[in-house]
Structures are given as structure tokens and as C-alpha cells.
Chains A and B, each alone.
Chain A
């Protein structure tokens, strides 16, 4: 048993923390929140240079061949810094390319992801607002050398800067819904794609992406025909753990900053941190965030090792989401009036918590999945 990060991971953590401090200051967070692209080429270039985009890409495709746990380290630091870039989108879309892409696809695309040339966006969810296969009705129909895609994708992160969409389509209408899904890598410049930005609570660059008679060459099919949903499930599990890591990193910011504030804010002649009520809020916050972190590592480790983990991943995402929501809410309370303002950072985390809890499975839906696993 070894419940610590490796030395390399500790070093990566330090590099990431230093990078965020130096190259991703708070002012840039504010700027990118307002900026419709949510993208800075120089930041993207630097993270490519540091190898962050290649962590899960195998070495033969110019990657590093790292693990999910390495990514957990990075996502924690990104969550802590409220990092804004299409990194999450690109990385989770890289997964099915690595695991199911053809040799040609891998050779063509992975090195370009690795060096920062390509931004990817996951075009999965639709107005049905579910992550289940039954929610996918965007169709792809074979026509000579192409497939033709029609449908509306909704809540699509980073479409505004994507070079490729990883698009989940329905290619068979009959039979169980999960046995008729096919994935395509769709060039974002293809005629018939219309992107409309959505404004969200966390300014996280979501879009509606309408596919109207969009032609995709057959060679851009990723993985087998009609059997794309298992790849999506695999991707979702990784996305959940990456989101957990982001959340616990952000939660760390919350406990640290609330504690620091309690040691400087004076009311009634005493530090508010000397009052039992504030001490106990902070003690609970520290405890639950600590537990959420260990839960994240455990579930991520199981996923990384290829062990059965449907239950653990769902549990972790539900638990971490609730913890992050609860304590960003209490964080605002501890900061008082200033915590409710646009200018104060606490609100950044409060807003992100509301969004993150719902992505890739909300706590109620995930508990239902846990209940299914409990009955086995």
C-alpha cells in the first residue's frame, strides 16, 4: 500500500502550481470569463510545451504515456486556479482516440494534440440533457463515401475553439439504444455546423452545436459502427474523475482561503476565527474536503488500474459534488458581504460548483447508478 503521490507526481504538482501562479493570474481568469473564446494561444502553447496535453498519449504517438493519476494532479491544480482553456475537453476526447482509434487516426491526430495544434470538443449531450444512450438522437446516415449527420448537440464545451468534434451519433434506430451509437471525428469547419454560444453560471463556454447535413468521411468514424457507446461510458468515467479532481482542487482553495480570512477578519474586537461557530464550520469543511480528496484518489486509482469501478466512480462524483457545493456555499457565508460580490474570488468557486455537480451525472442520477450496483 502506498497512499501518497509519487515523487514525479509531486514535482508535476509543484510545476503546475507555479505555472498557475505565474502565468494564470486572477486577472486572466476574469478576462477569460468575459472572453467568448475562453482561449489564449500563448497559454495553450505553454501547456503543450510542458507536455500536459500528451500525458495520456502513448509514447509512440509523441505522448508521455502517463496515467490518470498524473492527470488528477493536473486537474486538481487547474481547479484550484479556476483555469480556463479547452484542456478538459481536449483530454477527454483524446481517450477514445487512444483506445479505439485506427492506426491512421492515431498517427494523424495524436501528435497534433500533443503539440497543441488541435483542440477537441465533446459533442455528446443533446436537448434531452442526459448522458444515457437513449438521449442521443442526432443521426448519422451512410451516403457513398460519407456519413451525413443531422441533429442538435447542446451544452457543448469549447465548441467555439474546437478543430474537431468528437460527435456521438445514432446510426441504428431499432434495438437497445446503447447498441446504435457511433462516434465520429468531425472537422469543425465542415459546412452545415452552426455554433451558438450559451451563457452559463460558470462562464464555462458551452454552446449549442447544430449539425445540418454535415458530411463526414467514413474514415473519420472512431471505433466500431453502432458500438460507440462503451467508448462514451469509458470516457465519462474518466471525465467524472477529472471533474472530481478539479472540484477537490478548488475545494482546497476554499478551505485555505476561508481559514486565512478567519484569521484576519475582526468583529466585536476578535478574529472571527476565534469564534466556535466559525471554527466548527471550518473544521467540517476541512474534514469533508479531505475525505472527498481521498475518495477521488481511490476511485481514480481503481479506474486507472482497470478494476471494476462503476460504483466507486459514481459514489465519488456524487460525494465530491455535494461537498464542493456545500462548502462553497458556506465559504461565501464566511466571507460575508464581500463574498457575494463579483469582484471577490469566492463567487468564482461557488458558481463553478453549481455547474460541476451536474456535469457527467448529477448526484441524484449517480446515486441511482450506485443503487443498481448495490443490487448486483
Chain B
């Protein structure tokens, strides 16, 4: 076994580090990172967009793609390193969906025309995506979705409603699932579309628990999408959704961002005196901090392992599900433990006098709850492990 990066990987990592260290300097006032921070203000969004442009010029939005479509043909390990470094410096600039969900789906299932049309635009950060999968009555049971797509000449006409559409208010494009054949079993009548957001689409805010605007509802009202915008075959959309999601589940960026948060927390504990000693000297707090660090390292090692298996082109669906649920649950534990460590200062929000670390953990102990639900709940991931990994009866 050898956990060392190759010299080329190490060099690339250093290049990433130099880049993101510099980009981190340009963060707007009050920026605390997190996956959804980019949607929360105009300044944050502008920061995200400007980093995205620079990343596209570096070719770093398409690290694992074939060269033919503007990619770098790196392995999952390089992609993992990129995500890890970016997370640590809390720098945005990567569309939540384009490079890691939409592009792999198009690469695996899209027609040559689709590839030629869409992949360069994703690599160039021209598109701000949102995801139209979940519906009010189709959460974990995604395949029960009701949004209809009906053929009409060269188009499909879409009617229905999507929900939990993160960043829908900033997006200019949507990739979504709609039912094209209601007469067959639910998994077999779904089609995968990509489209600009245009006439026929209404986006309405749905505020998260902490009052921030991340989610939206999206309504389709005779929204017309050309047939050429179908990814894969009509009625085969369910299978297209499977591409890409496993890698996304390794969640390494979250781990490295939490590593950074933990460093900040330890520093703060050293500086904060309570009852005649620093918080860092309190044995109970030391136990908690060590546990956080231990769980982070555990999660990191697992993410590397999952990427390693995937880089050998082996399937790792249960492993990826394990990474997704464990890391998102760990994030919730982390945020709540950090809040406890800070005591009464913990719940103070950013902007209030005396807030600790810009209210990072006040925010995270709420925001992290999205992670255990979105992209397949913890329970769905455990089902996948039980059924696919352990071959238990369905």
C-alpha cells in the first residue's frame, strides 16, 4: 500500500493550492463558505462567477473528461484532490451540478451532438444549472414523479412542478426529469432533459430554516423543450441519472472545509478564556475536538478509498453511498458539537456583536440538515448498501 500522491499529482495539488489560496483572498466580506453560500447575496454570486471563469481558463472544470470534449483525462484521484483543496480554502467557482452531474450524464448517455453542444459550455462555465428532479410528492421515491412531457412536433411540452431546486433563482439552465410514458412501470417512463430556463418556467423562493434563499419551487407551464435536448433515450432517463452520482457522493470537499473549520475552532478555543482557563484546556472540550478530528480523518480516508476504487474503473456504488451518508451525518454531528463547544456564543448569528467565527456553526447546524436529505437521504443510502452491498432482500 502506498498513500503517497505521485509526483505529478503532488505538483498538481500544489498548483491547486496556490490558485485557491489566492482566490480565497478575494472573498467578499462575511463569506463563510459552504455549498450554498453563493446563492445568498449578489456579492457572493459575483465571487463565485469570477472564480468560475478563472477555473474554466485553467481547464479545471473538466479534469476527468476525455480530451476530445475539452477535458484533461485525469483520474478520479486528481478530481478528488481538486475538490479537497478547493474545500479547504472555501472557494466557490464550481457549478453544483454542471461538471459533476450533468456532464457525466451527457458523456455516458448523450448523443454526439449533445456532447459537442453542451460539454464545452460546461467546461467554460457558461452555464448556471439547477436540478429539476424532486417533486412535492416524489422525494425518496423519485421515480414516482408526475411532471409530464408530451410530444408535440419537434418538441416536448412540459407541465408540472419541481421542488428543492437549489439555486434556481440564479440558474439560467435546468436539467430535469419528466414522465414521457405513464402507461409503463414507473422507472421505465421517465426522460432526462436539459434546457435553458425560458418562457413557461416560473421560479418561486422557498426559504431554508435559517431564512436564507437557497431552495426554490419551479413550475412548468407548457414549457417547450426540443427533442434534441433529451439526454439518452426517451423513457430511459432513470438510468441516465445513475451516471455521475456515485463520484459526487464521496463529499471530500465537505471534509476538507470542516478540517479548516476545526482549525479555526481550535484557535478560537485557545484564545477564549472561561472559568480561569482556555476552552482548549478544558478536558471535556478536548475530548470533543479530538472526536471531531478523528471522524474527519476517518471520512477522508474513506473518500480516498472510494475514489481509488473508482479510478480503477470498478463499481463502488455501496461504498459511495456509505461515503455520502457517513459524511453528511458527520457534518451534522460536527456542527452540533461545535455549537456546544462554543456554549452560549455558538447560536449567535453572523452580524451580531459577539458572534463567533462569523456565526459559522449557527449556520452549519441548520444548513447541514440539507446534506442528509438531498441527493438521496441517509435512509436511501443505507438501503443501497443493504441491497447492493450486502445483497439483502428488497
A interface residues (Cβ-Cβ under 8 A, vs B): 1-6, 69, 259, 262-263, 271, 273-274, 276, 278-280, 282-284, 286-288, 290-292, 294-295, 297-298, 301-302, 311-312, 315, 318-319, 364, 366-371, 374-375
Contacts and interface: CB of A to CB of B under 8 A. Distances in A.
B294 A280 contact: no
A9 to B, nearest CB: 8
Lowest 3 A-B CB distances belong to which pairs?
A279-B386, A371-B286, A367-B290
B1 A297 contact: yes
A370 B294 contact: yes
A283 B1 contact: no
Interface residues of B, number: 46
Contact of B294 (A3, A298, A302, A367): A367
Interface stretch (B176-184, B202-210, B302-310): B302-310
Interface in B367-383: 379, 381-383
Contacts of A369: 290
B315 to A, nearest CB: 15
B25 interface: no
Interface of B is mostly: helix
A293 to B, nearest CB: 9
8 contacts: A274-B393, A280-B379, A280-B383, A282-B392, A283-B383, A312-B297, A315-B293, A367-B291
Centre residue among B280, B322, B392 by max chain A CB count within 10 A: B392
Interface of A is mostly: helix
Nearest to B378: A280
B4 interface: yes
Contact of B286 (A298, A311, A319, A368): A368
B1 A5 contact: yes
B319 interface: yes
A120 to B, nearest CB: 28
A297 B304 CA distance: 12
B222 to A, nearest CB: 41
B302 A301 contact: no
Centre residue among B1, B5, B305, B381 by max chain A CB count within 10 A: B1
B301 interface: yes
B308 A3 contact: yes
Contact of B322 (A3, A263, A287): A287
B167 to A, nearest CB: 30
Interface string B277-313: 0001001001101110111011101101100100000
Centre residue among B290, B293, B381 by max chain A CB count within 10 A: B290
B234 interface: no
Interface of B: 1-6, 9, 77, 266, 270, 280, 283, 286-287, 289-291, 293-295, 297-299, 301-302, 304-305, 308, 318-319, 322, 325-326, 379, 381-383, 385-387, 389-394
A259 B390 contact: yes
A259 B382 contact: no
A265 to B, nearest CB: 12
A233 B375 CA distance: 45
A291 B302 contact: yes
A6 B280 CA distance: 42
Contacts of B289: 371, 374
Contacts of A6: 1
Nearest to B286: A371
Given A5-B1, A283-B390, A295-B298, A367 B308 contact: no
A273 B392 contact: yes
Nearest to B270: A375
Given A294-B301, A301-B1, A315 B294 contact: yes
Contacts of A69: 1
A300 B130 CA distance: 43
Contacts of A1: 2-6, 9, 77, 308
A294 B319 CA distance: 12
Nearest to B302: A291
A141 B291 CA distance: 42
B390 A2 contact: no
A331 to B, nearest CB: 14
A309 B151 CA distance: 62
B3 A290 contact: no
A87 B163 CA distance: 60
A3 B299 CA distance: 15
B19 to A, nearest CB: 22
Contacts of B294: 315, 318-319, 367, 370
A274 B2 contact: no
Contacts of B280: 375
A264 to B, nearest CB: 11
Contact of A283 (B3, B291, B389): B389
Contact of A3 (B305, B379, B387, B389): B305
B301 A298 contact: yes
Contacts of A3: 1-3, 304-305, 308
B12 to A, nearest CB: 13
Contacts of B295: 319
Contacts of B379: 280
A326 B350 CA distance: 38
Contacts of B6: 1
B253 to A, nearest CB: 18
A280 B299 CA distance: 19
Contacts of B9: 1
